[in-house]
Amino acid sequence: MSNEADLLVPSDNASSYRLYPQRFYVLAVFSLLAFNQCLIWITFSPIARSVETYYKIDEATVDLLLNWGPIIFIPCLPLTYILLNKRNGLRRCIILLAVTDFIATALRVIPSIVTSPSSPHFSAISMPFMYAGQILNAACGPLAMAPVSQLSCLWFGPNQRTRATTVGIVAHKLGAAIAFLISPAIVTAPEYIPRLLYVHLCLAFVACVLTLVYFPAQPPTPPSHAAEFLMLHRTSEESNSSWRTSMKNVWRCMTTPSYVLLSTAGGLVGGAFGAWTSLFDVILKPENYTEQQSGWFGFGALVSCIVGLLCMGALADTHYFLRRRKILVVLSFIGGFIAIFWFELSVHTVFYEKPILHSTAVTIGLSVAVAGLFQGAVLPLIYEAIAEIMFPLPESLSASILLQWLNVTVLILLFIAPNREKLINLLVLIALGTCIIMSCIARFSYTRRDADEKKQYQKEDESLLNYDSMNPCGNETIDQP
């Protein structure tokens, strides 16, 4: 194994930090599972009208299938955090995610096997299976989102962590983007809904097999000081009361002002954008856009979100911006606010019946794409910023609280949404304005990076001392005769 490893810190010491090639497989499998989880969650929203016809249900029931995501996510997140910080916790979480999502997709195809849409009892038989599948998938939400920053810390070096975190977030977002694209493409008529469910089942099966075949709990040796500390911290907690320790750590987070400001801002923007894009079919219906057009708008917004994630992940890891994250965060929030304000002026709102700006499908698409670009750009920055602020607490804790705010925001907006599509646009705009203020007030610190750099300097000094001790004459002056 050591022959394949790349040295992170040049040293003759056998305990040097190393990066292992397996990290790419681990990240790829996790990304596929995160992709599937979001794809399955948003199954029915892009094809809401077809779902109503096929299952003979109303709009509120379709909304509930989506709402199970944040409803179940909130109570399951603390349990995920406890499991994640047990010995081999990352492996346990990922295996649980893979198996549970496969079961969830299998449950949803059972009604198509045991009964027929022409049956008078088809809806009564189908909906319990639909609910069970959506609830199980919702319980996987924390397993697909909370481990991302901890996985990047465990497997990747200090100058790769933001990009690794970005890939994990991108995969989850890509699931929603693909859902907006393939769901209307496959379900061109209500009777084709089972085809879509079988596609999801196949994807979940492949991901489950890849996970069970190989997914190690952690690398053989840590890639950084932060990863080394995380491994030791998790091992030492085995002898402590997990709930007591967790509550103490949560209290520490909630009494750190900068963490509260940034995690709340991240939760607001992520939750507001997630709910907003999932409701495009409802929001744009008064503007006479079809279900397929709304799906393309949602797809465009999420693709641009992914582009923003990838670009910002690469930019934030450059030397110049390693300690200038606040500038990037504030500018991203401002860009997102301007884009959503543009969208607000192009549609009906609570303040006026006619749009102020003349809009077309192109201008609507551009406004949501720009909003997605900046929303995607800010997410990896927030994940890494709060991990830096709260170090040496586990990255999973800082990410978990952020995700809790995100899902509370989604849940509130989705419950407000029925018959209030105009109000949703305004609330999203207010959320972005609030995020700008909070990110300006927050104080960014780089505790984790400072610890990594200090440890690296110590190892370099030790290497020099070892070299000097092995070459005692190297620094002596030889007298010339």
Q: Kindly report, residue by residue over 217-231, the tens digit of the pLDDT.
A: 888 888 887 788 777
Each residue's pLDDT tens digit, 319-334: 777 677 788 889 999 9
What does the alpha-carbon distance between residue 164 and residue 384 come to, in Å, rounded to a whole number?
Answer: 11
Domain at 154, CATH number: 1.20.1250.20
What's the pLDDT score for residue 419?
64
**pLDDT at 101 exceeding the cut of 90:** yes
**pLDDT at 424 exceeding the cut of 70:** yes
Which range scores top for mean pLDDT: 151-155, 202-206, 388-392, 474-478? 202-206
> E strands, 72-158, where?
none
Lowest mean pLDDT among 65-79, 110-124, 360-374, 438-452: 438-452
- Model confidence, pTM: 0.72
Has residue 8 been placed in a domain?
A: no
Each residue's pLDDT tens digit, 22-71: 899 999 999 999 999 999 998 988 888 889 889 988 878 887 888 888 88
Has residue 336 been placed in a domain?
A: yes
Has residue 469 been placed in a domain?
A: no
**What is residue 7's three-state secondary structure?**
strand
What does the alpha-carbon distance between residue 350 and residue 355 come to, in Å, rounded to a whole number?
Answer: 11
Has residue 23 been placed in a domain?
A: yes
Q: Which domain holds residue 171?
A: 18-237+245-461
What's the pLDDT score for residue 402?
84
Mean pLDDT taken over the chain = 81
Has residue 322 been placed in a domain?
A: yes
Among candidates 127, 120, 117, 125, which has minimal Cα distance to 192? 117
Has residue 480 been placed in a domain?
A: no
Q: Could you give the residue ranges of the DSSP H alpha helices within 140-192?
A: 141-145, 148-155, 161-186
What's the pLDDT score for residue 1?
39
**pLDDT at 459 exceeding the cut of 80:** no
Has residue 148 been placed in a domain?
A: yes
- Plot region of 56 (φ>0 → left; ψ -120 to 50 → alpha; else → beta): left
**pLDDT at 194 exceeding the cut of 50:** yes
Positive or negative torsion for Cα 383, 389, 395, 396? negative
What's the pLDDT score for residue 94?
94
What's the pLDDT score for residue 422?
72
Q: In which band, very low, low, confident or very high, does the pLDDT at 108 lie, cut at 50, 70 and 90?
A: very high
Has residue 478 been placed in a domain?
A: no
Give the chain's domain count.
Answer: 1
Percent with pLDDT over 70 in the chain? 87
